[in-house]
């Protein structure tokens, strides 16, 4: 298969971890006889310095002309200190999601057996935890109208959803549940929000076309509690943008580290793959960032293109690195391996 | 002291657990020579059946004429099955919060040493956890304009905040932090929401009047993660209505049970005290609901009126019940004590 891949390293440790992903994809190319071309583009703080904005047109065009996008991480200490700045690196990411209509953010949460001790939760609590969050990514309060009164004393954000926005991601989530343990949990606040009531109505209707999937509902406050008390009850979770942001970060904490979790943002025309974790600017250039989340994101990408054997090869190589403790110091404080060495090991084992 | 107390049992186990609180307050009356009068009022599903609405005027008037309100719980299985019903029991609670301007919801989260094994989190993770959430309770997306398009395909909820709404609860939170470990964490999503940016601006400004309190900021997604990874880092948390709903439920899970956590909803003119937990309709009438959350809510009430010694007496009696294992079955599956017996024991030890 030929794939044109846009490579957006972004800020912080993004470029470093992404470099390990490319090593792995080169290995997949060789072993399985594919042809991948990589083209780099700027986004985030690095783009602000070069182009005066976090998402220059050339980057959007590069993405549109590619089959797939690999994304690193975004954000620097400088901008984190001032979240109210008019122009911020994150806007590049939000704009890209919106322009490419990457409406479904997919975040699998799975506890690696070798890493049970990393979790803040007790062993019996996390036993068997393996769920996927489908977070709506291009609607809701993130993109609704924002207002600030002239005198600066009243602010507002509008949360809006249409049937169409709900239905397209709902179909993705139901299909995923059908191929898994056949349970879908819609998380909302239907006892308070009008948008949540629309979500419930639309998702219930769509559920009729997936009779094999058990559909259940949970209020978001209860969900946050359940995710701590009984995370292994979930199979596929479907939720709106803001709730998904909160719950997927909470979910990532179950694993005790974000350094392992991949994610995909999918639309009808484009697909982007990125590690779950942030830009970790403190670690930039130190060869200590864990590349596994980024590498597992390429495994999600390979699956997305139907290259399941290739995807498994990547996952197996990652498992091996963990079993052999060829890992970064976040997983093993005594480890002498850095970002690069872990990347080399995994690529060599594909 | 003379206090007129409105007693709103509500639905489910509300009336049962509240009855134990009244026993304890009778004991406080006797031991410390106060005079409390209790008057019952209807709210929730029980009011809907009697008056056709979840908050009849007589109940609001009773509350306005009282010095304090003790609240049970709200919601029944019948209404939970249909969260989109036009009239719902919860609306009674939301309306009461709004009408009495109970803008500050205060939820302390503390791990009882005797109950460390109840927590889903590992012992070293929860060690020393002791924080209070100040949740704004009468603004934000809960009360902003809700719309549904004529054809029912587009819905919206408006999240709105004014400087005044933010500032009054911020002062409460800073004062609390000043009397505690002197750290206040504002939780928001200022990298995305206009309302969050207003929160940050207003809270930062107010912080200047509390120089002894260290003010820090956390994005809500990160906060949900931190609360699982390092819950003991928090002292006082301040946040808006929806985030507070989610995070306080998540926080309650740290204790492994909601059956112990009290809460207060305070305004400038009125104050209401209620257990953190829901109406638990499955347990109604079975004498198995844990009365401690409700009883500890009365301890919060006593403190609120400056009756600190009285409040301590209640807390000490509760501690004793736990040490002696005079507890309900949620805390000890082998226990032979029910709601009533636990209430009797605690009241007798005041
Ligand atoms: C950086 C930020 C705008 C973003 C979000 O809130 O969507 C991030 O938290 C995420 O979850 O990808
Ligand atoms: C019952 C519901 C409307 C309420 C809320 O969301 O405020 C409850 O979850 C709470 O936290 O008191």
Element (H, E) at A304: helix A292-304
pLDDT at A1: 92
Q: Which CATH architecture has domain A1-100+270-350?
A: 3-Layer(aba) Sandwich (3.40)
CATH no. for B105-260? 3.40.718.10
For residue A192, give the ligand 2 atom closest to its CA: 3
Q: How far apart are CA A154 and CA A147, in angstroms?
A: 8
- What stretches in chain B show pLDDT beneath 70? 83-84
The answer, for A246 touching chain B at a CB cutoff of 8 Å, is yes
Q: Does A168 touch chain B (CB under 8 A)?
A: no
Using CA atoms, how far residue A232 sits from A228, A240, A295, B325, in Å, is: 10, 21, 25, 30
User: For the stretch B247-261, what's the b/e string if a residue is b when 16 or more beta carbons lie within 10 angstroms of its beta carbon?
Assistant: bbbbbbbbbbbbbbb
Cα–Cα distances in angstroms (integers) from residue A68 to residues A5, A6, A62, in the given order:
5, 6, 10
- Give the pTM: 0.96
Ligand 2 centre to CA of A122 (Å) is 28
Report domain A109-260's class: alpha beta
Question: Residues with beta carbon inside 6 Å of ligand 2?
Answer: A 191-192, 221; B 90, 93-94, 245
B37 CA → ligand 2 middle, Å: 28
pLDDT in tens, chain A (350 residues): 999 999 999 999 999 999 999 999 999 999 999 999 999 999 999 999 999 999 999 999 999 999 999 999 998 888 777 766 778 899 999 999 999 999 999 999 998 888 888 999 999 999 999 999 999 999 999 999 999 999 999 999 999 999 999 999 999 999 999 999 999 999 999 989 999 999 999 999 999 999 999 999 999 999 999 999 999 999 999 999 999 999 999 999 999 888 899 999 999 999 999 999 989 999 999 999 999 999 999 999 999 999 999 999 999 999 999 999 999 999 999 999 999 999 999 999 99
Chain B closest CA to A91's CA: distance in Å?
8
pLDDT score of B85: 76
Contacts B125 to A, Cβ<8 Å: 120
Chain A residues in contact with B221 (beta carbon < 8 A): 245-246, 248-249
Nearest CA to ligand 1 atom 8: A245
Length of chain A: 350
Domain ranges of chain B: 1-100+270-350, 105-260
Return residues 82-111 of A near B (CB < 8 Å): 83-84, 88, 90, 94
| A333 touches B at CB < 8 Å | no
The vertex-B244 CA angle with B183 and A119, nearest 5°, equals: 75
pLDDT at A82: 74
Q: How far is A137 from chain B (nearest CA, A)?
A: 13
Domains A1-100+270-350 and A109-260 share a fold: yes
pLDDT digit string (tens) for B95-152?
999 999 999 999 999 988 888 889 999 999 999 999 999 999 999 999 999 999 999 9
- For chain A, how big is the Rg over CA atoms in Å? 20
Query: Which of B242, B244, B247 to substitute to test the interface with A, most A CBs within 10 Å?
Result: B242
């Amino acid at each position: 298969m030929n794939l044109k891949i846009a490579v957006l390293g972004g800020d912080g440790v993004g470029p470093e971890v992404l470099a390990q992903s490319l090593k792995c994809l080169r290995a997949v190319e060789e072993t399985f006889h594919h042809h991948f071309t990589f083209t780099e583009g700027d986004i985030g703080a690095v783009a602000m310095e070069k182009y005066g904005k976090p998402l220059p047109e050339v980057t959007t065009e590069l993405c549109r002309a590619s089959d797939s996008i690999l994304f690193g991480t975004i954000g620097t200490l400088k901008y984190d200190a001032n979240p109210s700045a008019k122009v911020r690196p994150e806007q590049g990411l939000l704009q890209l999601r919106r322009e490419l209509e990457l409406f479904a953010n997919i975040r699998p949460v799975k506890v690696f057996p070798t890493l049970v001790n990393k979790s803040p939760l007790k062993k019996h609590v996390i036993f068997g935890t393996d769920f996927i969050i489908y977070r709506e990514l291009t609607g809701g309060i993130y993109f609704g109208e924002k207002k600030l009164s002239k005198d600066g004393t009243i602010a507002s954000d509008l949360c809006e959803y249409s049937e169409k926005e709900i239905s397209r991601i709902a179909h993705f989530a139901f299909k995923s549940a059908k191929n898994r343990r056949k349970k879908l949990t819609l998380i909302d606040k239907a006892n308070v929000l009008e948008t949540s009531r629309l979500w419930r109505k639309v998702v219930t209707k769509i559920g009729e076309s997936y009779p094999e999937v058990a559909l259940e509902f949970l209020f978001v406050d209860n969900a946050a509690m359940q995710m701590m008390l009984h995370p292994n009850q979930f199979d596929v979770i479907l939720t709106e943008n803001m709730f998904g942001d909160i719950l997927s970060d909470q979910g990532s904490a179950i694993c005790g580290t974000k350094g392992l979790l991949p994610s995909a943002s999918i639309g009808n025309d484009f697909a982007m793959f990125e590690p779950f974790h942030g830009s970790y600017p403190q670690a930039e250039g130190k060869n200590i960032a864990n590349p596994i989340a980024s590498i597992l994101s390429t495994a999600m990408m390979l699956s997305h293109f139907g290259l399941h054997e290739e995807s498994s090869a990547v996952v197996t190589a990652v498992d091996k690195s963990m079993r052999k403790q060829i890992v970064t110091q976040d997983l093993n404080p005594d480890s002498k391996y850095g970002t690069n060495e872990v990347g080399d090991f995994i690529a060599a084992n594909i």
